Amino acid sequence: MHKLFPPFGLLLFAFGIGCANEITTTETKASISFNITELSDEDYPDNPDIGFRASDYQSEYFELGELSISDIDHCQISFFSSNGADTVQLNELSLLEFIPKIPERFKSDEYLSLLTVVNQEWNRNQVRFLKGEFNCSSDKISRVDLARNCLNAKLWEVIVYVQEGDKTLPYAHGWFDFPEKLYAELFEQRNQVPYSTYSAYLDNWKQPESKTINFDQLRTVHDRSVCSFEDLSFEMYPIAGAREKKFKEIIYPTQFKSMKDLQTDSSLFATFSQPGFYNCQSPRTTELGRFYHLNQVEFLETSSSDGKNNLELVFHFSDEEEERQTQLNIGGLDLAMIPALSPQDANKGWKNSMGFGNHSFYEGYNEHKSLNPNDNPYFAALFDEELNWLDSHQIGIDGPVIHLDDVSPYLLHVWLLSFERHAFIGHYVISLEPESI
């Protein structure tokens, strides 16, 4: 097993690429090899997969990785196992969709362009490849996930899974650095702007300035109404799925009986440390007290730049002392994409991260390829009382989980995910009946 956080190993071979989608560079690359880091339970005691992984989980599985490039739409990433028998290959991979994209409609707005790039990179995007979407010399591997984690532009992960009964469980997990120079080249090809414009934010997590944004760039509002709602945050959330695995990452309060107990600036969670692991020894502070009172919910009928009609919800919160006002906008929603579920199945709801035009946290490869950021109207953002943008990571939420009620078609459930999706910190049921809006 490689030592914890080894230096990044890079091997380049030059050759000529003659195709329409070539990566234009002074040193064109054919093959890039990289080291893969693995963490034992001693290295990573706060691993949420402990207790939720394969019975024969491997902590010394990966040996080396290699990225081979024909063109940006036809790349291959190979992961070689230490036993030499389980080579995993992701073929015909399009790399550009893994790189942040500034929608064309934002390019005239410097601030929105920055927030878009930052939030796309600062939120996890984990893409799953099922049987038939990857090659493996071992039939045991049933799924492969490729993750661009939320720490900086170069930190990626690979997870392979096996089937045990009706469960798909992690079998091995590795961390690797995406080639720095190649990332910059892909970013510039995707956005037609110098990578240096944003490198300080993407490489080092530099926080953008808190300013107002131009909402007209996001959508056109056709109607605005106040709708009735119920705040169910005094109840406990369902501890299932990822929330069950990550429950141990909640540092404070040590015991709680409801989501309301988490709506305090005293709430602490395990932070996410390089190269991409949860660390309870480094608590992440929050400002979750901002969500203590939900005072009003607005329903907006909007359209995006392509003319499609969408739904937007605007939540108006205040803290317990009514001193801080916080606004949460969740826009570009299509109710046809929202599943109808029981609240106990909330973890299966439609979810996305905070930001503008983002991929979701977890998605299949076909879904990943089909998303066009230029046409993606989704956004979610926090604002203070003067409508200055607030960094959601500093506040302590990662995004919404949304589902329709499985009994009443006019009820919409909105749950708020905490920092790193460790917990739900709020649950709001909104009435969409015509007389209520």
Question: In angstroms, rounded to a whole number, what is the distance separating the alpha carbons of residues 348 and 366?
Answer: 19
- C-alpha distance across the termini of the chain, in Å: 59
Question: In angstroms, rounded to a whole number, what is the distance separating the alpha carbons of residues 49 and 69?
Answer: 33
| Spatial CA neighbour of 81 closest among 65, 57, 54, 61 | 61
Residue 434 is predicted with a pLDDT of 62
Q: Which pTM was predicted?
A: 0.92
Residue 305 is predicted with a pLDDT of 82
Question: In angstroms, rounded to a whole number, what is the distance separating the alpha carbons of residues 223 and 302?
Answer: 7
- Own/partner pairs, 215-218, CB within 8 angstroms, 24+ separation: 217/105, 217/106, 217/109, 217/112, 218/112, 218/331, 218/332, 218/356, 218/377, 218/379
Question: In angstroms, rounded to a whole number, what is the distance separating the alpha carbons of residues 135 and 90?
Answer: 7
Residue 240 is predicted with a pLDDT of 96
Q: If you search the block for the tokens 């739409």, which residue do you land on?
A: 73
157-188 burial code (b ≥16 CB/10 A, e <16): bbbbbbeeeeeebbbbbbbbbbbeebbbbbbb
Judged by phi (left if over 0) then psi (alpha if -120 to 50, else beta), residue 396 lies in left
Question: In angstroms, rounded to a whole number, what is the distance separating the alpha carbons of residues 80 and 62?
Answer: 6
Return the C-alpha torsion angle 388, 392, 394, 398, nearest 10: 170
| Spatial CA neighbour of 224 closest among 313, 299, 295 | 299
Q: Which helix (H) or strand (E) holds 282?
A: strand 277-284
Question: In angstroms, rounded to a whole number, what is the distance separating the alpha carbons of residues 56 and 16?
Answer: 44
Environment class of 327 (CB within 10 Å of its CB; exposed 0-12, middle 13-18, buried 19+): middle
Judged by phi (left if over 0) then psi (alpha if -120 to 50, else beta), residue 140 lies in alpha
Provide the token pair at 222.
């056709």
DSSP label at 21? T
φ/ψ (deg, to 5) at 398: -110, -20
CA angle 243, 359, 191 (to 5 degrees): 150
Tens digit of pLDDT per residue, the chain (437 long)?
443 333 333 333 332 223 334 444 433 457 899 999 999 999 999 999 999 999 999 999 999 999 998 877 789 999 999 887 789 999 989 899 999 999 999 999 999 999 999 999 999 999 999 999 999 988 999 999 999 998 889 999 999 999 999 999 999 999 999 999 999 999 999 999 999 999 999 998 899 999 999 999 999 999 999 999 999 999 999 999 999 999 999 999 999 999 999 999 999 999 999 899 999 999 999 999 999 999 999 999 999 887 889 999 999 999 999 999 999 999 999 999 999 999 999 999 999 999 999 999 999 999 999 998 888 999 999 999 999 999 999 999 999 999 999 999 999 999 999 999 999 999 999 999 765 55
Q: Where are the domains of the chain?
A: 11-204, 215-436
Question: In angstroms, rounded to a whole number, what is the distance separating the alpha carbons of residues 248 and 110?
Answer: 40
Provide the token pair at 129.
């490849």
Residue 73 is predicted with a pLDDT of 78
Residue 4 is predicted with a pLDDT of 38
Provide the token pair at 192.
């037609």
HEC-encoded secondary structure of 216-250: HHCCEEEEEEEECEEECCCCCCCCCCHHHHCHHHE
